[in-house]
Amino acid sequence: MIRILVAEDQSLVRMGLRVLLDSEDDIELVGEAADGKAAVEMVRRTRPDVALLDVRMPGTDGLMALREIAGDPDLARTKVVMLTTFDLDDYVYEALRSGACGFLVKDTEPAELVRAIRVVAEGEALLSPTVTRRFISAYAARPARRRASLPNISELTEREREIVTLVAEGLSNGEIAERLVISPATARTHVSRAMVKLRARDRAQLVVFAFQSGLAIAVDE
C-alpha cells in the first residue's frame, strides 16, 4: 500500500485529488494540508511514502516545506513530488535541486498522476514525461548555469557518463538496459555508482547534474 499526503491550498483541487486517490486500491491518502507548515508537521506525524506538495501555498510554500522534509534524516523515506503550473520553470529547477523526486503540472491526466505516484514510490524519479524533460532542459540550458563545475565529474567512467546522459533523457533502468544491451541489474549498478560519485541524492538530482555539467544537452521539443 502506497501511503500519500497531499498539500494544496485550493480546496477544490484537494477534493479532486482525494476522490482520485481514494479510488485506487493500492493508494492510501493519509493526510491533507492547506499550507507548507501544516504539510511538514503532518509528514512528520504520518511518515507517508509520497508527499505531493503544491509549489505556491500561503505562509510556508511548497519549496520551503520540501527543504524541511528533505533536510530531515528521519523523513528520508518520504519522496516528494511537486505540483506546479507551466509558468513556474524556475521553481521546478529549484525543487529538483532541493531534493524533489519530480514534479507534475496541475493539468496532468488523472491516470498519469496515479502512475507517477507509483513510479516515485518504487524509488525512481519522475523524469519520463516529455514536459519534465523540457522544463529541465530549458532552465538548465541558460548560459549562467549550463556548465557549473562538479568536483567529481571526472571520476565517472565512460560507461557511467553514458548512463547519466540516458538518465537525463528520462529513461528508466529497464529502458537503459535495452538501449545499451545490458541487463537491468547492470544498468541499476551503473546508476547507483554514478550517484555515489556525484553525491546525488536521487535520480532527479542526477539529471540536474547532467545538465549542469554538460553531459546532457538541452534540446527543443
Q: List pLDDT tens digits, range 133-184.
A: 555 555 555 555 444 455 578 889 999 999 998 888 778 788 899 999 999 8
Q: Of 117, 37, 46, which Cα lies nearest the Cα of 83? A: 117
pLDDT, tens digit, 9 for 90 and up, residues 31-41 = 999 999 999 99
Of residues 106, 18, 30, 128, the one with CA closest to residue 62: 106
Checking if the pLDDT of 220 tops 50, the result is no
pLDDT in the model for residue 128? 46
pLDDT at 146: 46
Residues 18-35: what's their mean pLDDT? 95
CA distances from residue 195 to 31, 58, 134, 201 in whole angstroms, order as listed = 32, 34, 22, 7
Number of Cα atoms under 13 Å in the Cβ half of residue 162: 10
* Enclosing H/E stretch for 55: none
pLDDT band at 219 (very low <50, low <70, confident <90, very high): very low
The reply to whether 146-213 shares the fold of 2-126 is no
How much is the pLDDT for 147? 47
* Domain-wise residue ranges, the chain: 2-126, 146-213
CATH topology of domain 2-126: Rossmann fold (3.40.50)
Tell me yes or no: is domain 146-213 CATH 3.40.630.30: no
What's residue 218's pLDDT?
52
Beta bridge partners of 84: 105
Instruction: Look up the pTM and report it.
Output: 0.70
pLDDT of residue 47: 97
Could you read off the pLDDT of 67-124 as tens digits, one per residue? Answer: 999 999 999 899 999 887 755 556 766 777 788 887 787 888 898 889 888 888 877 6
Closest CA to 194 of 177, 211, 180, 209: 209
- CA distances to 49, 77, 88, 215 from 6, rounded to whole Å, are 11, 16, 19, 34
**Is residue 53 pLDDT above 70, yes or no?**
yes
pLDDT of residue 42 exceeding 50, the answer is yes
Kindly state the helix (H) or strand (E) to which residue 91 belongs, with its residue range: helix 89-98
Q: Alpha-carbon distance 32 to 188, whole Å? A: 34
